Amino acid sequence: MNKDSNFLYKELSEKIIGAFYAVYDEMGYGFLEKVYELALLKELELRNIPAENQVTIKINYKNEYLCDYVLDTIVDRKIILELKAAESLANIHTAQLLNYLKATDFKVGLLLNFGLKPEFKRFVFTK
C-alpha cells in the first residue's frame, strides 16, 4: 500500500462519515441494521451523494465464479459501506469488509457501527 492510498476518496469518505453521524444523532441506538441502512441512504440522498443499496457482486475462487453476494451499500461507485448495529465492532466485521474489498475492484471501504456508541473504521485496500 503506498502512502497516497490513504487519501483515496478522503473527501467522499468524510462526507459519508458526516451522514453516518447525522443518522446516529437522529436515531440513536437500538434499531436493526436495515433501519439504519435506509436512514443512511436517505441522508446521503439529502446531501446529494449518490448511493445504491443491496448491490449484488460476484464472488470468484481461483478465477471461477462461486456465487453472488449482496453488499449493504455502495457510494458513488467508489466506496463500499458495511453497516452494523452491534454493541461494538469485532474482528469478524473487519474481516468481512476486507474480504469484500479483495473480492471486488473497490479500493475503499467504510465499516459503520450504529452501536452503543457510533464508531467507524476506514480501509484502503490496494492489490
Tell me if 94 sits within 8 A of 121, measured CB to CB: yes
Residue-level pLDDT at 18: 98
The predicted model scores a pTM of: 0.89
Average pLDDT over residues 9-31: 97
C-alpha span between 48 and 77 (Å, rounded): 14
Residue 6 has pLDDT above 80, yes or no: no
Residue-level pLDDT at 117: 95
54-66 confidence digits (pLDDT tens)? 999 888 888 888 8
Residue-level pLDDT at 59: 85
The strand pairing partners of 58, in sequence order, are: 68
Residue-level pLDDT at 61: 83
Give all domains of the chain, ordered by start, each with its CATH number: 3-124 (3.90.320.10)
